[in-house]
Structure 1
Amino acid sequence: MAKAFGAESTADEVLEGIDLSGKRVLVTGVSAGLGVETARSLVAHGATVVGTARDLAKARRALAEAFHGSSPVDLVEADLASLGSVRKAASDLLTRAKPFDVIIANAGVMACPQGKTQDGFETQFGTNHLGHFVFVNRLVPLLNRGARIVTLSSAGHQLSDVDIEDPNFEHTPYQPFTAYGRSKTANILHAVALDSRLKGRGVRATSIHPGGIVTELARHLTPELIEQMRTRISRGASGQAAAFRFKTVPQGSATSVWAGFVAPADAVGGHYCEDCHVCEVNDDATSRAGVRSYALDLAHANDLWRKSEEMVGERFSF
């Protein structure tokens, strides 16, 4: 009988008894928080891990602390806010020609002040979505049959659908959490589009919400933004059985490894997961449970795919 996991499960508990020897995994954003813990847990269970980071020195320090000494994680420099950096990192990995069994698109930013990436995109959409869009899509040739792509999204997707007509807030007043919501919806839609394109070759893609965790992701939150978040969480929790609780970093890493290695591929492919289970569609604006239907709509995902290709100036055919 399969073990049952939930909100309080940790990555090590999810992977207990599982031998990942021979598995090669790519994790983006291994310089802090969830990325470091995800890499650590995978290595602890036998996987070979390649990690990306914008700041390699910071990543080395964080990984050395996690591994209590020398880290076995192979580091690659990649700044998701720069398509030039992303493309160079992908090219370096393609040149090595070593296949991957799982890609965990973990890196991201949240609720930043209004700004632009090196390529002129709104910071959150450009970093969280477009950076991963180019990086992951370019690495598809390296994926083994049976591979999985796990993209970290967030319950923050409930804050806003993507705006395909105005992705850079050129005509819309900028709100940090609205921008974050757009980028996290884009992460889910990218996974939906990838799954549709790749499942015929045995590769599945899914998106997950790791839960609320206090990490460096929240470094841009002002007291005003924190109060907005608390108000929304309190409102969303009304009438629900359990109030919101923050997770630890090991708990926050659990759904990533569950979706990547433990859950049946057909169960998670094209879906959105949280607390080590597949979420149901829930369009109740007063609830924080589940996934909004706009985030799983394949036609909408394909529209975003075409818009993303137009924005980055690159087409991807699988």
Structure 2
Amino acid sequence: MRRVATPWTTAQIPDQTGRTVLVTGATSGLGRETAKELAARGARVVLAVRDTAKGQRVAAGLAGTTEVRQLDLTDLASVRAFADSWAQQDERARTIDVVVANAGIMMVPFARTADGFESQVGTNHLGHHALVCQLLPHLAPDGRVVVVSSLVHKTGKVDLADLNWERRAYSASGAYAQSKLANLLFALELQRRLHASGSLQRVLAAHPGWAATSLQGRSGNAIADRLTGVGNRFIAQSAAAGAQPSLAAATADLPGGSFLGPSGPGEVRGAPRLVGRTALASDLGLAADLWAVSAQLTGVDALERAAAR
């Protein structure tokens, strides 16, 4: 591993031979670019995707060792099936060096997941909570989890009493911001639990700034989607550039709890660097409370003994 130099570039990614990296949402955008770079450095990269046919097409264009596994974060039964299948491999194959919790949806019209969760918090946060907790027994002793958040977390608020928008008037942007704040709170609480247990495993977070990906333009609002398209063309950086904070979080020598984003003005674009987070995103009490709610909703918890110490 290497410390983050300024400016950090993908040329600083060390050889990944012998390491296993699992990337969710690896068929497009940030996930595909993350998988591409790590596979090219020798990692065994597992593309955990909802559309396996698309995943196979992406994998065919990547250098190195890749495999495609079906995972639908909007369905807890699919998450459990993925984790159960993973556990059935031999010890060497099931040991994971890095989990990149990347998959997500952004500012979409109201919908519910198979388990009745609001779709954005269900996909971006609750699905990843369930997945990572179930994969923790297979994380290497020095392994790490990378959680992909967003600049938009700065406008987010987590309503623990109405996480799934059952009583509030729905806001696509508000739901997205809540889910991205939840990503950072999840990373914060998981890192706390790992540290309390004496583990050397690390949890880091990253955000891509404004990166042009297929996530944008799906709000159902023609004007908003048109404006987003203009921003993607003239302001946003590429998906490859947007993936650099995730890649730095996955490979650089950084402590658990680090948060990386672009170094340019407003963290919109530029080479990765350590960035700050809001007071809410640093609230240990809120992080613990969100964990409790998430564990109750998903039926999945981890490191309970460590958390109780």
TM interval, shorter chain, is 0.7 to 0.9
Q: Secondary structure at the match of 2:159?
A: coil
Structure-1 residue corresponding to 2:209 = 211
Structure-1 residue corresponding to 2:242 = 252
Q: Give, as a single letter, the amino acid of the residue that structure 1 aligns with 2:261.
A: E
State whether structure 2 residue 273 is matched by structure 1 residue 274: no
Q: Secondary structure at the match of 1:255?
A: helix
Per-residue Cα deviation, 1:94-132 (whole angstroms, up to 9, x for no partner): 111421111111100000100100000000000100000
Q: Is the 8 A contact 1:26 1:100 kept in 2?
A: yes
Alignment of 1:142-221 (within 5 A): 142-199=138-195, 200-221=198-219
Q: Is the 8 A contact 2:96 2:139 kept in 1?
A: yes
Q: What is the alpha-carbon distance in structure 2 between the residues aligned to residue 75 and residue 55 of structure 1?
A: 10
Q: What is the alpha-carbon distance in structure 1 between the residues aligned to residue 279 and residue 126 of structure 2?
A: 22
Pairwise CA distance, 1:245: 3.5
Identical residues among aligned pairs (%): 36
Q: What is the alpha-carbon distance in structure 2 between the residues aligned to residue 167 and residue 245 of structure 1?
A: 32
Q: Is the 8 A contact 1:22 1:47 kept in 2?
A: yes
Structure-1 residue corresponding to 2:223 = 224
Structure-2 residue corresponding to 1:240 = none
Pairwise CA distance, 1:206: 1.4
Q: Secondary structure at the match of 1:217?
A: coil
Per-residue Cα deviation, 1:194-230 (whole angstroms, up to 9, x for no partner): 1011132101101111121111111413333347879
Q: What is the alpha-carbon distance in structure 2 between the residues aligned to residue 143 and residue 246 of structure 1?
A: 34
Q: Is the 8 A contact 2:17 2:43 kept in 1?
A: yes
Alignment of 1:57-96 (within 5 A): 57-67=53-63, 72-96=65-89
Q: Give, as a single letter, the amino acid of the residue that structure 2 aligns with 1:271.
A: S
Q: Secondary structure at the match of 2:168?
A: coil
Alignment of 1:80-159 (within 5 A): 80-96=73-89, 97=91, 98-159=94-155
How many positions carry a matched residue from both structures?
Answer: 286
Alpha carbons of structure 1 residues 158 and 3: separation in structure 2 relative to 1, 3 Å: closer
Q: Is the 8 A contact 1:14 1:254 kept in 2?
A: no
Q: What is the alpha-carbon distance in structure 2 between the residues aligned to residue 3 and residue 278 of structure 1?
A: 9
Q: What is the alpha-carbon distance in structure 2 between the residues aligned to residue 248 and residue 273 of structure 1?
A: 17
Gaps of 5+ in 1: 234-243, 281-290
Q: What is the alpha-carbon distance in structure 2 between the residues aligned to residue 145 and residue 2 of structure 1?
A: 20
**Stretches (4+) displaced over 2 A:** 1-6, 62-67, 221-231, 313-318
Structure-1 residue corresponding to 2:307 = none
Q: TM-score, with normalisation over the residues of structure 2?
A: 0.86
RMSD between aligned residues: 2.2
Pairwise CA distance, 1:2: 5.9
Alpha carbons of structure 1 residues 229 and 40: separation in structure 2 relative to 1, 3 Å: closer
Structure-2 residue corresponding to 1:237 = none
State whether structure 2 residue 19 is matched by structure 1 residue 23: yes
Q: What is the alpha-carbon distance in structure 2 between the residues aligned to residue 219 and residue 81 of structure 1?
A: 20
Alignment of 1:278-293 (within 5 A): 278-280=274-276, 291-293=277-279
Q: TM-score, with normalisation over the residues of structure 1?
A: 0.84
Q: Is the 8 A contact 2:4 2:252 kept in 1?
A: no
Gaps of 5+ in 2: 263-271, 305-309
